[in-house]
Amino acid sequence: MSAATRPPRVGVLALQGDVREHLAAVAAAGATPIGVRRRDELDAVDGLIIPGGESTTMSRLLGVFDLYEPLRARLAEGMPAYGSCAGMIMLASDILDTRPDARHLDALDITVRRNAFGRQVESFETDLEVDGITGGTPMRAVFIRAPWVEGAGEGVQVLARVPDGPAQGRIVAVRQGDVLATSFHPEVTGDRRVHQYFVDMVAAKIE
């Protein structure tokens, strides 16, 4: 089977976080899911999801598993990537309220603030319209100790903002080229539209 006709191979960084839920969502979207813990697994995928979790722990584990530099290289070469919550933080170029030794991947020209919405007990849900993804039918977005985007470069497309409440207007979904990120967790609701959008991005890249 040629690269143009096979299902895309979409990896999920499997060091920490909602790995199983993302793998299931990738499969439901028609891609081949691959858990990524080693360099050879990273080399085998066409695109990568960085799940939610704890960004400073994820940063440290990338070093422990010798994946930090290979992942930065794949991203610099144009590999599609999607980060949810902590994954958004990892993909950002600038992070506020993080540890001085935390490393990130510089794949998105955005400034993010960690835990911007507050502690775990201040997690919330809202109906969200995501440009190019939800098509006029909002999705239920779940925010758990989530970041928000405080600033975005000229090449960054803003896909969603919080519609109401104290955080009204805050940016919570962005895309820059083949890199996508959301503050919220679409893997926990059963709504596969964000994952389908990303799988379609990856498929277009390998055609």
Please report, for the chain, the start and end positions of each structural domain, with discontinuous segments joined by +. 9-206
Q: Quote the tokens at residue 135.
A: 């098509």
Question: Picking from 4-8, 21-25, 168-172, which range would have the lowest pLDDT averaged per residue?
Answer: 4-8
The answer to the question of whether 84 is labelled as a binding residue is no
- Is pLDDT of 148 > 70? yes
Q: Is 125 a catalytic residue?
A: no
- Exactly one of 21, 22, 104, 187 is catalytic; which is it? 187
| pLDDT computed for residue 97 by the predictor | 79
SS (H, E, C) 109-162: EEEEECCCCCCHHHCEEEEECCCCCCCCCCEEEEECCCCEEEEECCCCEEEEEC
What's the CA gap between 37 and 88, in Å, rounded? 19
77 labelled catalytic: no
pLDDT tens per residue across span 86-108? 999 999 999 987 777 778 899 99
20 is in an annotated binding site: no
Helices (H), the chain: 19-28, 39-44, 55-64, 68-76, 86-91, 193-206
Catalytic status, residue 185: yes
Question: 9-206: which CATH topology?
Answer: Rossmann fold (3.40.50)
pLDDT bucket at 121, cuts 50 / 70 / 90: very low
User: In which element (H, E) is residue 9 found?
Assistant: strand 9-13
Catalytic residue among 21, 22, 104, 185: 185
Does 114 carry a binding-site annotation?
yes
Check whether 145 is labelled as a binding-site residue.
yes
Average pLDDT rounded to a whole number, residues 43-49: 98
Residue 143: phi, psi to the nearest 5?
A: -110, 120
The one-letter amino acid at 50: I
Report pLDDT for 17.
86
Q: Would the CA dihedral through 88, 137, 122, 52 be positive or negative?
A: negative
Catalytic residue among 22, 85, 104, 195: 85
pTM for the whole structure: 0.93
